[in-house]
Amino acid sequence: MSPLGNIIRKEVKELLTPATFLPIVIMAIVFGSMGNAIGGIEEEMKEKPVIGLINVDNDRFSTLATSILNENAEVVFNSSDIMDKQKGLETLREENGVALIVIQKNFTENILKGVPGEFEVYWVMKGAGITDSISSSIVEDLISLVNTNITKELISTNTSVNATTALTPTFRNETTYFKGKELHGLSPSVISSILSSQSTLVPIIMMMIIIVSGGMVISSMALEKENKTLETLLTLPVKRTSIVAGKIIASAIIGLFLAVIYMLGLGYWMQSMQVTSNVNLADYNLVLSGGDLLLIGLSVFVTLLAALSLCMLLGTFARNYKSAQTLTFPVTLLALLPMFMIMFKDFDTMPLVVKVLLFCIPFSHPMMAPRALLFGDYPLVVSGIVYVSIFALIMISLSVWVFKTDRIITGSTNRFKK
Amino acid sequence: MSVVEVKDLVKKFGSVEAVKGISFTIDKGEIFGLIGPNGAGKTTTLRIISTLLTATSGSVKISGFDLHKNPGEIRKIISYLPEDAGVYKNLTGRGYLEFIANFFNTKQTRDMVSKGIEIADLGERINDRVDTYSKGMKRRLLVGRTLMTNPKLAILDEPTSGLDVINAQEIRRIIKNTTQGGTTVLLSSHNMLEVEFLCDRIALIDDGLIVEEGKPQVLMEKYHASNIEEVFTRVVG
């Protein structure tokens, strides 16, 4: 074999390890699942939205509107009596519908007079994730289609209305029902955009803290082993719990410090990207109280503790700095997964299996906490804090236990097993 | 009076028995050497005595403290120098000694560091970062760290491993002197000359068993050997 071939063979042998391939394989699976999820979104976009209709007007343009809506949506409730509104909403909720559209009295007459006709839209919003607002977007598109058709009708029949009304013949008076709140004047898309701009920062920062601090803990353990300093440390008069706690606390301090720097940069960036909203959330009682902020802080703290304890446990398996890089992968994955899941779907609208999975991933709790608290879902946040605290305690106990066993020195109790 | 009492010590790693029931004692102020080929069980024995590994069976007592029951108390009175021990590279020599001294009695921290600096004898370089040190300088710093705490038992695994003649001699001199302060030394070594020079008593270990034990001079006479290397070859070979 030529010298070049000899070197290539040796290098390939060295690189061809499960540690090299496993992260890539898992990443491919994750991307594949995300591709499926996006495929699912496309499917959902093709589906007809479920709506209810109350046509009080029963005239030329309202008939046009109902025919378009009937053709392009699955209408589960139809009425011409305004008193049926409550009944319509109940039917909509039962049928997993998205909106009850009420075409008000004098709709046609007003348009012909040059005054935009009124659509009263009662949205039933299920979640604030990207995929949760698909149906409502389709209904918004259908209302735009109705507008276009009325405009065409006005122009083709040479009706003498002012240009503004001809181009924008209707307006929407919206009310959204979301997580037990009745929000007047807000559509699901507006609520989604407000909530996402509010709650995107927390998952990203949380993910960064976990990955950065977790990486530090694992690397610290790996370096202790690689630099052969661990053996000395373990024979000094210091409790194993102090060694574990010391490493976790130091990484948490650095992690939080880095997070503050990161948050400042990201905050300015997001501020510059954000479209100024005229909606004052305080008007809708959508603000976090001091107690809520305290709960978020507690959730972040216990999650950081859990993440670092898990990393400490993983770090005990690190043989050297190179193997530490591989060990950070599961932590990175566990931090990225809930971030994406929460961005796509609201916890409430997820299938039960996904809900259980998300709840079990300790890092997802501080990511979900701000939105949950905004809508008063205290049981989810408090149970999350309790769960993550228990998880952290178990991880710390396991780390201390590993520190007390031979595994910390030998890497495995069966090192010499044939 | 025995500082170390090892009785029927066994250590298994899975199905492999690395130490197969060894027993020995070391008296106060004595330098006791464990000598044996690679894989004989020397380092495993030292790691058990220094509380790093747990024994499968048997007992170890250090200054009356049972290793199984009181590892915390034992760590206060021992000092272990692993064969390939490292130093935190981002610290200075002085910083490293201070870091270690802080784990002990805070009232004596300054004295400990001064003693460590004196043993390491690195001059002004003690204030330089460790990653600029040569191998010999690092080893001297580690020996300084090991002996500065005035341990009742110093456990030294190949203390002069990989060092040049001058550095090795200096470290041997330091180890010899340390017993005058009442420290007992347990060391392992491949270097037979070193063992002959340093140890009051030695134990030859092979395949996890102590095959011979005694004073170097007595063993040399017993095996009609001119040095410990010959004794070693005759017993183990």
- Return the SS3 of A77: strand
Q: Which amino acid is at A118?
A: E
- For residue B80, which residues of chain A lie inside 8 Å, CB to CB? 231-232, 235
pLDDT winner (highest mean) among A82-86, A185-189, A300-304, B74-78: B74-78
Chain A, nearest residue to B56 by Cα: A406
Q: What does CATH list as the number for B2-236? A: 3.40.50.300
How close A126 gets to chain B, by Cα (Å)?
Answer: 54
Q: For residue A380, what pLDDT band results from cuts at 50, 70 and 90? A: very high
Which of A229, A232, A409 is nearest residue B53 as measured by Cβ atoms?
A: A409
- Take residue B133 and report the two structure tokens written for it: 């040190």
User: Cα-atom radius of gyration of chain B, to the nearest Å?
Assistant: 18
Q: What is the pLDDT of residues A36-54, one digit of tens each?
A: 666 666 666 677 889 999 9
Order of strands across the sheet with B65-66?
B16-27, B2-13, B57-62, B65-66
Chain A, nearest residue to B131 by Cα: A227
Rounded-to-integer distance, Cα B31 and Cα B198, Å: 7
Say which residue the tokens 């747990």 belong to: B54
Q: Do B54 and A406 touch (CB under 8 A)?
A: yes
* pLDDT attached to residue A125: 86
Rounded-to-integer distance, Cα B9 and Cα A95, Å: 74
Given a cut of 50, whether residue A180 has pLDDT beyond it is yes
Length of chain A: 418
Phi then psi for residue B125, to 5 deg, are: -65, -10
Q: What is the DSSP secondary-structure string of B154-169?
A: EEEESTTTT--HHHHH
Q: Do B72 and A237 touch (CB under 8 A)?
A: yes
- For residue B52, which residues of chain A lie inside 8 Å, CB to CB? 231, 234-235, 409
Which of A231, A417, A418 is nearest residue B52 as measured by Cβ atoms?
A: A231
* Domain ranges for chain B: 2-236
B38 CB within 8 Å of a chain A CB = no
Given a cut of 60, whether residue B206 has pLDDT beyond it is yes
Given a cut of 60, whether residue B48 has pLDDT beyond it is yes
A198 exposed, middle or buried (CB, 10 Å; 0-12, 13-18, 19+)? middle
The average pLDDT across B128-156 equals 92
Cβ count near A127 (within 10 Å): 21
- Return the SS3 of A276: coil
In a mutational test of the B interface, the residue from A224, A225, A235 whose CB has the highest number of chain B CBs within 10 Å is A235
* pLDDT attached to residue A272: 60
- Return the SS3 of A251: helix
Which of B14, B82, B87 is nearest residue A417 as measured by Cβ atoms?
A: B14
- Take residue A1 and report the two structure tokens written for it: 């074999």
- For residue A320, which residues of chain B lie inside 8 Å, CB to CB? none
Chain A, nearest residue to B83 by Cα: A228
- For residue B82, which residues of chain A lie inside 8 Å, CB to CB? 228, 231-232
Say which residue the tokens 């939205």 belong to: A49
Distance of CA A415 to the CA centre of its chain: 43
Lowest mean pLDDT among A90-99, A208-217, B141-150: A208-217
Burial B164-174, CB ≥16 within 10 A → b, else e: eeebbebbbeb
How close A330 gets to chain B, by Cα (Å)?
Answer: 28
How close A279 gets to chain B, by Cα (Å)?
Answer: 53
Given a cut of 60, whether residue A334 has pLDDT beyond it is yes
Q: Do B82 and A415 touch (CB under 8 A)?
A: no
Which of A236, A409, A415 is nearest residue B100 as measured by Cβ atoms?
A: A236
- For residue B161, which residues of chain A lie inside 8 Å, CB to CB? none
- Take residue A223 and report the two structure tokens written for it: 């370096």
Q: What is the DSSP secondary-structure string of chain B?
A: -EEEEEEEEEEEETTEEEEEEEEEEEETT-EEEEE--TTSSHHHHHHHHTTSS--SEEEEEETTEETTT-HHHHHHHEEEE-TT----TTSBHHHHHHHHHTTS-GGGHHHHHHHHHHHHT-GGGGGSBGGGS-HHHHHHHHHHHHHTT--SEEEEESTTTT--HHHHHHHHHHHHHHGGGT-EEEEEES-HHHHHHH-SEEEEEETTEEEEEE-HHHHHHHTT-SSHHHHHHHHH-
Q: Do A409 and B87 touch (CB under 8 A)?
A: no
- For residue A409, which residues of chain B lie inside 8 Å, CB to CB? 47, 52-53
Alpha helices in A73-133 (DSSP H): 85-94, 107-113
Which of B13, B84, B88 is nearest residue A410 as measured by Cβ atoms?
A: B13
B79 CB within 8 Å of a chain A CB = yes
Q: Do B18 and A416 touch (CB under 8 A)?
A: yes
Rounded-to-integer distance, Cα A190 and Cα A279, Å: 9
Rounded-to-integer distance, Cα B97 and Cα B70, Å: 26
- The DSSP bridge partners found for residue B16 are B13
- For residue A416, which residues of chain B lie inside 8 Å, CB to CB? 13-16, 18
The average pLDDT across A285-291 equals 79
Q: For residue B168, what pLDDT band results from cuts at 50, 70 and 90? A: confident
The more confident residue out of B123 and A157 is B123
- For residue A410, which residues of chain B lie inside 8 Å, CB to CB? 13, 53
- For residue A216, which residues of chain B lie inside 8 Å, CB to CB? none
* pLDDT attached to residue A416: 38
Q: Do A229 and B78 touch (CB under 8 A)?
A: no
The answer to whether residues B121 and B153 touch, using CB atoms and an 8 Å cutoff, is no
- Take residue B162 and report the two structure tokens written for it: 């990989």
- Return the SS3 of A351: coil
Per the prediction, chain A carries an average pLDDT of: 82
- For residue A237, which residues of chain B lie inside 8 Å, CB to CB? 72, 75-76, 103-104
Given a cut of 80, whether residue A259 has pLDDT beyond it is no
Which of A228, A235, A414 is nearest residue B51 as measured by Cβ atoms?
A: A235
* pLDDT attached to residue A258: 75
* pLDDT attached to residue B171: 87
* pLDDT attached to residue A414: 45
Q: Do A409 and B79 touch (CB under 8 A)?
A: no
Contacts of A135 (CB under 8 A, 6+ apart): A44, A47, A49, A50, A98
Chain B, nearest residue to A407 by Cα: B53
Phi then psi for residue B3, to 5 deg, are: -90, -35
- The DSSP bridge partners found for residue B120 are none
B104 CB within 8 Å of a chain A CB = yes
- Return the SS3 of A215: helix
Q: Do A228 and B53 touch (CB under 8 A)?
A: no
Chain A, nearest residue to B154 by Cα: A235
Q: What is the pLDDT of residues A58-89, one digit of tens each?
A: 888 889 999 998 988 899 998 888 888 889 88
Q: What is the pLDDT of residues B173-203, one digit of tens each?
A: 889 888 888 899 999 988 888 888 899 999 9
B3 exposed, middle or buried (CB, 10 Å; 0-12, 13-18, 19+)? buried
Q: What part of B 122-181 touches A (C-beta under 8 Å)?
A: 145
The answer to whether residues A103 and A55 touch, using CB atoms and an 8 Å cutoff, is yes
pLDDT winner (highest mean) among A67-81, A201-215, A241-255, A382-396: A382-396
* pLDDT attached to residue A415: 41
How close A309 gets to chain B, by Cα (Å)?
Answer: 22
- For residue A406, which residues of chain B lie inside 8 Å, CB to CB? 13, 53-54
Q: Could you give all domains of chain A from N- to C-terminal order, each with its CATH number?
A: 44-193 (3.40.1710.10), 200-410 (no CATH)
* pLDDT attached to residue B57: 94
In a mutational test of the A interface, the residue from B38, B49, B52 whose CB has the highest number of chain A CBs within 10 Å is B52
Rounded-to-integer distance, Cα A279 and Cα A402, Å: 53
- Return the SS3 of A200: coil
